């Protein structure tokens, strides 16, 4: 299942933000063969704790990257 990933600025490790439900992945276009809308973030960013190092950081929507493996 594809996942949205975020990159921790403290330890430089990627961790999953959310999984992408199959119904959101439509067989249209895009670099990975389907088009997916990014999840909405609160204005000003989303505060999350890194599961690797425990550091809390504020993430922006544009920082989401797609992992499809």
Using rule CB under 5 A, residue 8 touches Zn ion: yes
Under a CB-based contact definition with an 8 Å cutoff, are residues 11 and 50 in contact? yes
Using rule CB under 5 A, residue 53 touches Zn ion: yes
Cα angle value 28/34/37 (rounded, 5°): 100
Using rule CB under 5 A, residue 50 touches Zn ion: yes
Question: How far apart are the C-alpha atoms of 32 and 22, rounded to whole Å?
Answer: 14
Q: Which of residues 10-39 bind Zn ion (CB under 5 A)?
A: 10-11
Interface residue with Zn ion among 16, 18, 35, 52 (CB under 5 A) is 52
Using rule CB under 5 A, residue 64 touches Zn ion: no
Q: Which chain residues interact with Zn ion by CB under 5 A? A: 8, 10-11, 50, 52-53
């Amino acid at each position: 299942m594809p996942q949205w990933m975020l990159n921790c600025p403290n330890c430089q490790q990627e961790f999953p933000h959310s999984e992408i439900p199959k119904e959101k992945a439509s067989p249209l276009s895009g670099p990975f063969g389907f088009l997916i809308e990014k999840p909405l973030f609160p204005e000003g960013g989303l505060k999350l704790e890194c599961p690797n190092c425990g550091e809390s950081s504020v993430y922006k929507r544009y920082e989401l990257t797609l992992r499809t493996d």
